[in-house]
Amino acid sequence: MRVTVVGGGIAGLTCALSLHAAGFAPRVYEAARKVEAVGVGINLLPHAVRELCELGLDGELASVALPPHRLSYRDRTGETVWEEPLGRAAGYRWPQYSVHRGRLQLLLLAAVRERLGPDSVRTGLLFQRFEQDAGGVRAHFLDRSSGRPVVDEADVLVGADGIDSVVRGRLYPDESAPSGNGVQMWRGVAPHPHILDGRSIVVAGGTPGAKFVAYPIEDPATAGADALVNWVLEVRHGPSAPPPGGPGRRVAEAEARAGLSSWNLPWIDLTKLAERSTAIVEYPMTDRAPLPRWSFGRVTLLGDAAHPMFPMGMNGGSQSVVDGRVLAWCLARDDDAEAALRRYDRMRRPAVNAIVLANRDLGPEETIALAEEHGGALPVGEAERIATRYKTLAGATVTQVNTHPSWTVPAVSGQERLAKGR
């Protein structure tokens, strides 16, 4: 079975590795001319780390990522509202990882090229459209260097091309642009002494637009040196128009210092954080409404192309990893590509759509919003109830992650598929 993946980000590359492990030889097409280590921090929750470890990436992940042990919710003065253990400290068989998004993407890219071959990921090819019939699907790309058209024929086309997915746009041509909640996220990475115990993710503040997040993504190279800290400040520009530049605009150091000046967090030097960030970039907090279908015949969606969500609960990237594993499992179980994509749709879409909607209602970060509203800590058990409810919805409780059957396809099945040229 020939599978074409549109998009060489974390979702598309994980999908390619999952398909390869299931016995397929997918081709990945990426619009960027070169995949580079850009971006800021990302968290991989234990349910995603399990899947990457089952793909044989446990050693590589441990070499580039840092395992946080604690999630700490704080108020605007830095006082503790509620805390919970993370990863192995919480009883999971797999850690949680905080990592630089670019380093993770390059790790996945290297694994794809090593396992599938150096030509398995083609860059500089902009997806334009597709046609499909009973015999297969034909994808059309534009070579950004030569300006020439490129056509790829496959049995299955996977759109993993992000929140502004062109594949999704072809399936839903009347869909509006991504919608936001009015919050802008200032995101940066800077060298800074470890905060708290050096293994904490801190979320301070209350409601969206009045929140600060920080966590380390890399330990110091030498004892006593600075760690690499990822940070996010949420702001609202108010009724006046936001500064020019649009998504991805650079935030000047002086502007960042001014935005951080109203915060009083004694365990972090916010001025130093702003000064040391090589680039502070503003992005709107956006998502898209859940879709009634992801799969149309031989074409399906995956990752942010299928379910872009507000970044509450650190779940977007993790759910994208699970998408790829389930899709590969479905394709390996059924010789009928369309039936396999319908199965994948039924298994993943309702569950992830529910997370998208839960994140619009703040997800687990309801805890600090309620604490701010009440002016203090929540009643005993309330924060834990909120956290457990969200984890259950995401399929991410300790029991769910540690005990669910593996999505790994038996090796003999994959070998047989390769032998048949599928």
Q: What average pLDDT does this structure show over 65-82?
A: 95
pLDDT in tens, 243-257: 666 678 999 999 999
pLDDT in tens, 279-332: 999 999 999 999 999 999 999 999 999 999 999 999 999 999 999 999 999 999
Task: Name residue, tokens 């996977």.
Answer: 158
Give the pLDDT of residue 292.
98
Gyration radius (Cα) of the chain, Å: 21
pLDDT: which is higher, 377 or 342: 342
242: enclosing H helix or E strand: none
Name the nearest CA neighbour of 327 among 64, 116, 24: 24
348, HSE (Cβ side, Cα atoms, 13 Å): 29
353 has pLDDT over 60: yes
Q: Name residue 310's amino acid.
A: F
The DSSP secondary structure of 392-406, one letter per residue, reads HHHT-SHHHHHHSPP
What burial letters (b/e) apply to 135-162, b meaning 16+ CB within 10 Å?
ebbbbebbeeeeeeebebebbbbbbbbb
Q: What average pLDDT does this structure show over 130-140?
A: 96
**What count of other Cβ atoms lies within 10 Å of the Cβ of residue 169?**
16
Give the pLDDT of residue 143.
97
pLDDT in tens, 393-407: 999 999 999 999 999
Domain ranges of the chain: 3-177+288-419
Give the pLDDT of residue 418.
47
Name the nearest CA neighbour of 418 among 6, 409, 407: 409
Mean of pLDDT over the chain: 93
Give the pLDDT of residue 101.
94
d(CA 331, CA 312): 31
What does the angle CA 324 – CA 328 – CA 331 come to, to the nearest 5 degrees? Answer: 140
Give the pLDDT of residue 411.
63
pLDDT in tens, 105-114: 999 999 999 9
Which residues share a beta bridge with 151? 140
Give the pLDDT of residue 306.
98
CA distances from 22 to 135, 346, 359, 418, 422 (A): 22, 20, 32, 9, 11
- Percent of the chain at pLDDT above 90? 88
Q: What average pLDDT does this structure show over 189-213?
A: 94
Which residues share a beta bridge with 1? none
224 has pLDDT over 90: no
228 has pLDDT over 80: yes
Name the nearest CA neighbour of 202 among 347, 333, 407, 41: 41
d(CA 339, CA 350): 17
Quick one: pLDDT band at residue 420, thresholds 50, 70, 90? Answer: very low
Class of domain 3-177+288-419: alpha beta
The DSSP secondary structure of 164-190, one letter per residue, reads T-HHHHHH-TT----EEEEEEEEEEEE
Give the pLDDT of residue 165.
97
Token representation of residue 212: 């600060």
Q: What average pLDDT does this structure show over 353-367?
A: 96
Q: Name residue 21's amino acid.
A: A
pLDDT in tens, 158-170: 999 999 999 999 9
The DSSP secondary structure of 95-157, one letter per residue, reads --EEEEHHHHHHHHHHHHHHHH-TTSEEESEEEEEEEEETTEEEEEEEETTT--EEEEEESEE
Task: Name residue, tokens 């380390």.
Answer: 216
Give the pLDDT of residue 421.
39
pLDDT: which is higher, 239 or 333: 333
Give the pLDDT of residue 422.
43
Give the pLDDT of residue 240.
60
d(CA 220, CA 218): 7
Give the pLDDT of residue 190.
96
> In the β-sheet with 299-301, what is the strand arrangement from edge to edge?
121-123, 27-30, 3-6, 156-159, 299-301
351 has pLDDT over 90: yes
The DSSP secondary structure of 33-55, one letter per residue, reads SS----S-EEEE-HHHHHHHHHT
Q: What average pLDDT does this structure show over 54-83?
A: 95
Give the pLDDT of residue 414.
44
